[in-house]
Amino acid sequence: MEKNLIQDDNAPRLTKISGRRPPAANSAGLQNATAVTWRQQARRLQKKAHVFYFVSKHPNTPWYAKLVAACTAGYLFSPVQIIPNYIPVIGMLDDVLIVFLGVKLIQRITPAHVLTECRQLADAAELRRNEKIRSTAAVIASVVITILWFLAAVIASVLMAKYIRRY
* Domain segments of the chain as ranges: 135-167
Dist CA 67 CA 62 (whole Å): 9
The answer to whether residues 98 and 75 touch, using CB atoms and an 8 Å cutoff, is: yes
Dist CA 154 CA 160 (whole Å): 10
Interval 89-130: pLDDT, tens:
887 788 888 888 988 998 899 999 998 998 999 888 888 776
149: amino acid identity, one letter: W
Nearest to 121 by CA among 40, 51, 71, 60: 51
pLDDT band at 77, cuts 50/70/90? confident
pLDDT band at 155, cuts 50/70/90? very high
Mean pLDDT of all residues in 8-32:
49
